[in-house]
Copies of this chain bind each other. A is one copy, B any other.
Amino acid sequence: MSRKIFVSAKEVADRAGVSRSAVSRTFTPGASVSEETRRRVTEAADALGYHVNHLARGLMRNESGIVCLIVSELDTPYRASLIRALTGQLQSASKIAMLINTDRSDDSVDQALRQAISYRADASIILSGMPDRSITDLCLKSGQRLVLINRDEDREGALMINLNDREAARRSFFALLRAGCRNFAFANSEAMTPSLMAREEGFCEAGREHGLEVSVERFGPTTYQSGVVLAQRLLTREKRPDAIFCVNDLLACGLMDAARHQFNLAVPSELCVVGFDDIEQASWSSYNLTTFAQPVEQIAAEAVTWLDQVTSAGSNSRRLDAELVWRGSVRGG
């Protein structure tokens, strides 16, 4: 390995003609240092290119400033924008994000949390997958904070951030009803995560309340390609749906493309579509998709402010609203 030769506080101290502690105090907000020594220290530090070693500081302070982001499929538009919001806000709170990609094996969320523990992360934020209870218990017991985003399952001591999935799905049903639709369908993936299932249940429930049957179809992962397949399955039914709620925007894009290019259906006159997430592509004029916006900045803000709080006792949970963004894929509006 290449010899690393970062400059240390000792060297700065020597050059500035002060003690090592003086250097340390200069870089510790609130410590007692005279204006004169501070000046000499910063001067020497600049000249030498000194930077406090956060690893060593973390060792002493018992606080690394590291927050782990545990994610799979991080190149998905929604995930990517959430990561962007989180990293941005973490940095504003002078913390730093470690990114752990769990695309590989199935137990890798557990592996990721082990990494988080190894690096003594102050907290872990889980955006996908659900770890074993034993490992989350270990995290909490070790004093590491835990944030679960859209994971729903209850974990005492962790912060759980969820959306009003059920209500949003209900609202979309009413919007489609008002648009004059009568044959409702729900396009879901086979991922079956709690938030996706909540949307399905909310939508179907609203249908039942109005005595309208909702045909549900589930296929594959939550991707564009699945949307294409779901369109083929739904649009070839004997009673062709005129309203489809897609469990997310990616699915909706695939479904709309198939509906238009393979089935020659016009949106929204022959088919109304609603999505979820409000990814950037939803606003592109080829889709112009009516959808529910994930409040990514707000989610990030909730997570980061909670991490800064001293008290973490008890079960914390936040339920945020996904706002309906009206565009052209539903009549009326």
Given A49-B138, A258-B285, A144:B4 Cβ within 8 A: yes
Given A54-B120, A55-B119, A142:B4 Cβ within 8 A: yes
Q: A101: which B residues are within 8 A, CB to CB?
A: 84, 87-88, 91, 97
A69 touches B120 (CB 8 A): no
* Distance of A185 from chain B, by nearest CB (Å): 20
* Distance of A248 from chain B, by nearest CB (Å): 14
**What is the total number of copies of this protein in its complex?**
2
B98 touches A96 (CB 8 A): yes
A104 touches B88 (CB 8 A): yes
Q: A53-B118, A55-B119, A59-B59 are known contacts; what are 18 more A-B pairs with Cβ within 8 Å?
A: A2-B310, A3-B62, A4-B63, A5-B143, A6-B142, A49-B142, A54-B120, A74-B83, A77-B80, A84-B101, A84-B103, A88-B101, A88-B103, A88-B104, A91-B101, A97-B101, A253-B284, A257-B286
A10 contacts chain B at the CB level, 8 A cutoff: no
Given A75-B83, A253-B284, A284-B253, A6:B96 Cβ within 8 A: no
Closest 3 CB pairs of A and B: A4-B143, A87-B101, A75-B80
B87 touches A2 (CB 8 A): no
* Distance of A316 from chain B, by nearest CB (Å): 13
Docked CA distance A228–B98 (Å): 36
* Distance of A143 from chain B, by nearest CB (Å): 4
Q: A142: which B residues are within 8 A, CB to CB?
A: 4-7, 49
Docked CA distance A19–B143 (Å): 26
Q: A104: which B residues are within 8 A, CB to CB?
A: 88, 91
**Count class of interface residues, chain A:** 35 or more
Give residues in A with beta carbon < 8 Å to B. 1-7, 49, 51-56, 58-59, 62-64, 66, 69, 73-77, 79-81, 83-84, 87-88, 91, 96-101, 103-104, 114-115, 117-120, 122, 138, 141-145, 224, 228, 253-254, 257-258, 260-261, 280-281, 284-287, 310, 312
* Distance of A273 from chain B, by nearest CB (Å): 14
Docked CA distance A76–B280 (Å): 9
**Pairs A–B under 8 Å by Cβ, sample size 14:** A1-B310, A2-B145, A49-B142, A52-B118, A53-B118, A55-B64, A75-B80, A75-B84, A88-B103, A88-B104, A91-B101, A97-B101, A98-B99, A258-B285
* Distance of A235 from chain B, by nearest CB (Å): 15
A96 touches B100 (CB 8 A): yes
